[in-house]
């Protein structure tokens, strides 16, 4: 008799876990859809033949003593940006120096264009769109903060996503293990 009560109790827990798993999935379906699609695309960004992320070019020297000062390269990048598209905001977000390639990448705060300059000559090697930056902002939720001027959405989005993934992991494991356990004790 005690065995039956314990089995009924295990079945009740299993039903509760299944309900939590189902409702979490149904509630957060769109969130997981965005995360999975953008994550997949981000994983392929360097292998997209320049579509998601401009291919990294190679400069004329990887020897640091041959390079121009960063301030000169920054001025050169702003000159190129203005000559290529004067409507783009020139506020620089990052200067990503690639010593092994002899180049520096310039990314901007207000748009997704990228300039790559030769560290030695200052010559423009590439001007392209970084679609991967938009995907990353969708992936981590920061696009909402950026568009609306908020500071909290990314933190909320990643917290909910992380807790939901943890919930799915725990409830999914229990949905797999619980019935096995019940059959063994059966």
- What is the residue-wise DSSP string for 93-156? EEEEEETTTTEEEEEESSS-EEEEEETTT--EEEEEE-HHHHHHHHHHSHHHHHHHT-SSHHHH
Last residue within a domain, chosen from 129, 145, 172: 129
Q: What is the pLDDT of residues 43-84, one digit of tens each?
A: 999 999 999 999 999 999 999 999 999 999 999 999 999 999
Q: pTM to 2 decimals?
A: 0.81
| Full domain range(s) for residue 95 | 54-129
How much is the pLDDT for 186? Answer: 61
Indicate if 101 and 87 belong to the same structural domain: yes
Reported confidence tier of residue 4, pLDDT bands at 50, 70, 90? low
Closest CA to 129 of 52, 69, 20: 52
Examine the pLDDT at 152 and tell me if it is beyond 90. yes
Element (H, E) at 92: strand 92-98
Angle at 167 (CA atoms; ends 163, 172), nearest 5 degrees: 150
Indicate if 123 and 59 belong to the same structural domain: yes
Indicate if 125 and 135 belong to the same structural domain: no
The chain-wide mean pLDDT, for the chain, equals 93
Indicate if 134 and 114 belong to the same structural domain: no
Q: How many structural domains compose the chain?
A: 2
Indicate if 37 and 97 belong to the same structural domain: no
Is 104 in contact with 114 (CB distance < 8 Å)?
no
């Amino acid at each position: 008799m005690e065995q039956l009560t314990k089995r009924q109790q295990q079945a009740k827990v299993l039903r509760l876990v299944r309900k939590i798993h189902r409702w979490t999935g149904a509630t957060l379906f769109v969130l997981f859809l965005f995360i999975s699609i953008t994550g997949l695309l981000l994983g392929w960004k360097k292998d997209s033949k320049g579509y998601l992320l401009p291919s990294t070019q190679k400069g004329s020297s990887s020897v640091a003593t041959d390079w121009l000062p960063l301030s000169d390269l920054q001025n050169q990048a702003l000159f190129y940006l203005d000559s290529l598209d004067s409507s783009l905001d020139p506020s620089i977000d990052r200067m990503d120096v690639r010593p092994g390639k002899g180049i520096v990448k310039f990314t901007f705060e207000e748009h997704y264009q990228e300039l790559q300059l030769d560290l030695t000559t200052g010559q423009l090697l590439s001007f392209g769109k970084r679609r991967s930056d938009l995907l990353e902002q969708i992936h981590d939720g920061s696009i909402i903060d950026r568009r609306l001027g908020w500071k909290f959405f990314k933190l909320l989005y990643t917290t909910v996503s992380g807790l939901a993934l943890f919930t799915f992991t725990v409830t999914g494991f229990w949905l797999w293990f619980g019935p096995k356990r019940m059959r063994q004790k059966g």
